[in-house]
Structure 1
Amino acid sequence: MKRNLLTLIAAAATVTSASADLYYLGSEAQESLPLKWTVGLNATWDSNVSPTAVGVGADENAFSLNPYVGLSFVNMTPQSTLDVYARVGGVFYLDSPTALGTDDYFTQFRAGLNYTRRFSERLRFSSRNFIAYELEPDYAYGFATTRQNSEYFYWQTDNSIGYRWTERFATYTGFTLTGLQYDNLPNQDMFTWMVYNQFRYQLSPQSVLTFDIRYAQNNADGLTSDSEYLFFLLGIEHRFSPNTILVARGGVQFYESEAVNGNDGAAPYLELALRSQINDQFSVRAFTRYGVEAYDSTRQVFAAPFNLYDFDERLTLRIGATGEYAISPRFSIFGGVDYIPSTYDEGRLVAGFGPGATGSIDEDLFNAYIGLSVKFNETFYGTLSYNYTDSDSDFPFYTYDRSRINVGLRAEF
């Protein structure tokens, strides 16, 4: 199928990228901001620090401390915008977890650099770059479906050229590189490259119609097969008000596994992002994505004996929403929810003992959090939050629930 996909992409000529953050709406910083430093400390009680552990360390609770320091900076000129941010810290467990593969210290690091260059009223270049090395999965990245007992290194660079051909018609053409690498988990690492073109038509002052073509190849590690994808998507970007915008795209996704006797097919694909500042006190963001994903597609299906299956199709729905409400100038409440149901199909035995193939297997993850933020003065802030996660899986060892209570203090200057 590779030749067919490449022929289609060449004939159609060119796509918009999937950002590292599924909440992203394509916007950029609107004003310069001076260098800001943040220093903080979180104290966390975790009811199930190694939720996928079996035997020793299963259902083990623990206390941890998370010190960190961060910075952010935005510089705008009439021709360019530079947005830089970084945060480094660590998670120190007061009592070392006993589950296999865990430790009493984990590194946390995130950084981003976004740059836009406006060469003229018609031509612009945009580059978005993100890097993270940490333990906990962030579901808004779009690859995690469960807690893994390993630190991971995740990065993405998205670079595009935008050109306005007429007053109403424009295009964005570019490429995205994405990497994911775990320290202690085999068959999970992934490198993806994607080229894309987006055609844009200004339907009205509030609405833009879009047509996207994307072609991607995933190079997987170990027993996980390589794969490729081709997307054709129709969409709309609509601004309901100056403070509310919706971006929605839907269409068809063609996919193919490059494994021997691998499967190929087509599936519906949908992505949606919403941002709204409802009033001075209340803001919300939300996203939805539905399609076939390549991540975490090699799993153990039976508890015993040892067996691993590689799945050609992992159809996944991702729903996320977060919001914040300012009760007063000093107090705010915040919360959010993630829901990720997945169906694994076309599984082939690639290691161990078991049937040569397996049928559909389902997995659902629900994650929710709520918290209170306090502004003590212009420098010091405090937070108190509760996070609950519930995983229901037909795979062995992936059904669990987990609660976390977090108290934090930070200074901004």
Structure 2
Amino acid sequence: MKKKLCLLTVASALSLGSSVQAQGLLSIGRHDEFETRVPFSWAIGLGGGWDSNVNQNSDNEHESGFVSGKIEASYNTGDRRTAYKVGASYSPRYYFDAPDGTDDFQHSANINFSIQHRVNPRLTLNDNLYFAYEFEPNFEIGAAGARRSDPYLYGSNSFSASYAWTRRFSTVTGYTFSGIAYQDDERAESQDYYQHLLHQEFRYAFTKTTTGALTYRYAIAEYDDGFGDYTSHYLLAGLDHSFSRKTYASFRVGAEFRDRDNGGNETNPYFEGSFSHSVAKHTQLRWFGRVGFDDSDVSGSQERYSFRTGLSAQQQFTSQLSGNIGVNYVHDEFDFSNGSYENDIVALAVGLDYQFYRNLIFNVGYSFTTCSSDNSFSEYDRHTVTAGVTAR
């Protein structure tokens, strides 16, 4: 397993110098937002809470209290020609009464890096890297399963070159590498995969705020056991529209033509869209949605067709009080050689931050996740309550 993790690490690092649309949720929307008013930020937090269903079991729920911490930092800077940002975070958690088969001590970490370089007035290069070690499902990535099963390593790096041929017509050419590697060897054998994706987009600016796009993508995915290997062609059309400098929407719609190595071809609709809105530092709103094939996270599944959508909002109520809320919905359809079943997952999280002394902030949060399924083993409900203090 260590060899697989090292391979994913090296591959992501090698592609760093070389962002375009990955099929993961990280690719949806724009990636050219570089905030330089506060170039460096950091935070250290300590807290605790209660988890109603640590093992995410359908009929044998196990609750436990826990203590947790976090360390995070980010830096962004640049000018009109070159801008970049880098961030990292680490979050450990210790359960006082973890059930059998679940580690008492769990931790997650991630790093991200983005750079934009204008070579000349016509040519712009972009790169976006995200690398994470997780023990919980991350619905914003859209790569792991609906329930906690095993720690995993996820990496995605996307490079693109944009060239303006005329004032209205431009092209974007790129390559993305992404993959997931599970820590457990048995799970890794059937669910570890790597994906290469080539991307070519033709863009035409109808106005200063609206641009049309025709997109072709070619994807190759390889699983450790070879069962889920496939190639896909995407033919898409869409629009990017700026309602204002801080409000932006984008969508692509079309079809995916998938050819599975284990037999069978299929064509299905594909859609992705995003919307972002901000007002100074007081209000931030983001939405994303995607409909299409997903890489399967269930052993023996021939394919997985999903609808994913998520909405997050942050609001600064006063100079001391702020809040945030996020909700994700996922509908999965799994096909097997001897049948099929469907999952519906809803994940809700809310939080409040209160600055009670200079750079000290009191945090409280609540999250709820529920999964309903044709497969009773996959069903579960989970509540989590947290409270803590953060210094920044």
Pair in the same fold by TM > 0.5: yes
What's the offset of the Cα at 1:278?
Answer: 5.7
| RMSD, aligned α-carbons | 1.9
Give me the whole-angstrom Cα distance separating, in 2, the residues matched to 1:88 and 1:141: 17
Matches within 5 A, 1:2-151: 16-18=21-23, 21=26, 24-31=29-36, 33-52=38-57, 58-95=60-97, 97-100=98-101, 102-151=102-151
Identity of aligned residues (%): 26
Q: Name the structure 2 match of 1:169.
A: 169
Give me the whole-angstrom Cα distance separating, in 2, the residues matched to 1:50 and 1:389: 13
Matches within 5 A, 1:312-331: 313-331=303-321
- Partners of 2:66 and 2:93 within 8 A in 1: yes
Cα 1:41–1:23, aligned 2, differ >3 Å: closer, same or farther?
A: farther
What's the offset of the Cα at 1:251?
Answer: 0.4
What's the offset of the Cα at 1:105?
Answer: 0.9
Q: 2:255 aligns with which of 252, 259, 276?
A: 252
Which stretch of structure 1 is more off in the superposition, 147-156 or 71-80? 71-80
Q: Name the structure 2 match of 1:310.
A: 301
What's the offset of the Cα at 1:295?
Answer: 2.8
What's the offset of the Cα at 1:279?
Answer: 7.6
Cα 1:229–1:163, aligned 2, differ >3 Å: closer, same or farther?
A: same
Q: Report the residue type matching 2:55 in the other structure.
A: S
| Alignment gaps of 5+ in structure 1 | 1-14, 299-308, 349-356
Cα 1:116–1:233, aligned 2, differ >3 Å: closer, same or farther?
A: same
Matches within 5 A, 1:231-310: 231-259=234-262, 262-277=263-278, 281-298=282-299, 309-310=300-301
What's the offset of the Cα at 1:331?
Answer: 1.1
What's the offset of the Cα at 1:241?
Answer: 2.3
Give me the whole-angstrom Cα distance separating, in 2, the residues matched to 1:120 and 1:242: 23
Give me the whole-angstrom Cα distance separating, in 1, the residues matched to 2:32 and 2:39: 20
Cα 1:238–1:377, aligned 2, differ >3 Å: closer, same or farther?
A: farther
What's the offset of the Cα at 1:277?
Answer: 2.2
- Partners of 2:330 and 2:345 within 8 A in 1: yes
Give me the whole-angstrom Cα distance separating, in 2, the residues matched to 1:265 and 1:25: 30
Q: Report the residue type matching 1:89 in the other structure.
A: S
Match of 1:397, SS state, is helix
Return the index of the structure with the highest Cα Rg.
Answer: 1
Matches within 5 A, 1:160-199: 160-184=160-184, 185-186=187-188, 187-199=190-202
Cα 1:376–1:23, aligned 2, differ >3 Å: closer, same or farther?
A: farther
Paired residues, number: 370
Give me the whole-angstrom Cα distance separating, in 1, the residues matched to 2:88 and 2:333: 36
- 1:117-165 Cα distance to aligned partner (Å, 9 max, x none): 1111111111111110121121010223411221110011101111111
- Partners of 2:24 and 2:142 within 8 A in 1: no
- Partners of 2:241 and 2:248 within 8 A in 1: yes
Match of 1:21, SS state, is helix
- Partners of 1:248 and 1:271 within 8 A in 2: yes
- Partners of 1:19 and 1:158 within 8 A in 2: no
| Alignment gaps of 5+ in structure 2 | 1-19
